[in-house]
Amino acid sequence: MIYQMVRNEDDAWDLAQDGFVRAWRSLANFRGQSSFFTWLYRIMTNVTLDWLRKKRIEGGQEFDDTIGLDGIAPGATTAPQAVAEPAVRLADREIRARIDEAIAKLSDEHRAVIVMRELDGMEYHEIADALGCSIGTVMSRLFYARRKLQTMLRDVHDQL
């Protein structure tokens, strides 16, 4: 989830470490009202969103589009594994790049719910717990995020 939000492997590892340190320090505050996974996921999400907000304020931009899959170290755990034919891989890579670019253009809140639901497969109630909002808010954010993605990726859909 963190990597999908920041699109930089080194930053993702740093944020994961910060999140685990924050969780360790807050372990006594875990009340068991939600699953441990949801509690930890919320901490990781908050660390990531805080970092993105801070970066936008300092850097004046939401996302650096120049960072792509080429910047991933070979053999990294976040590197995609491809086994398709070269032509198919090229087409898939181009489509994936367009999808990543579109997701990166979403607001932090919309990007978070898309990543959690579509990439991580979380249920609505898990997303709501992780973000500290209602299920209705999750549904609304997903609706608008999907609508924005459909608009931005209309030409990609026509190619499929």
pLDDT in tens, 51-104: 988 887 665 544 455 555 555 555 555 555 545 566 666 677 888 888 888 888
pLDDT score at 51: 92
CA distances from 90 to 23, 50, 69, 96 (A): 40, 35, 13, 10
CATH assignment at residue 16:
1.10.10.10
pLDDT score at 58: 61
Over residues 34-56, the mean pLDDT reads 88
pLDDT score at 98: 86
> What do you get for the CA distance between the two ends of the chain, in Å?
26
Closest CA to 122 of 51, 40, 62, 12: 40
pLDDT score at 20: 95
The DSSP symbol for 115 reads I
pLDDT score at 18: 94
pLDDT score at 86: 66
pLDDT in tens, 112-160: 999 999 888 889 999 999 888 999 999 999 999 999 998 888 877 666 6
pTM (predicted TM-score): 0.54
Q: Cα separation of 1 and 12, whole Å?
A: 9
Q: Cα separation of 61 and 58, whole Å?
A: 8
pLDDT score at 83: 53
Domain count within the chain: 1
Give the residue numbers spanning the domain of 145: 2-159
- Residue 67 CB burial class (10 angstroms; 0-12, 13-18, ≥19): middle
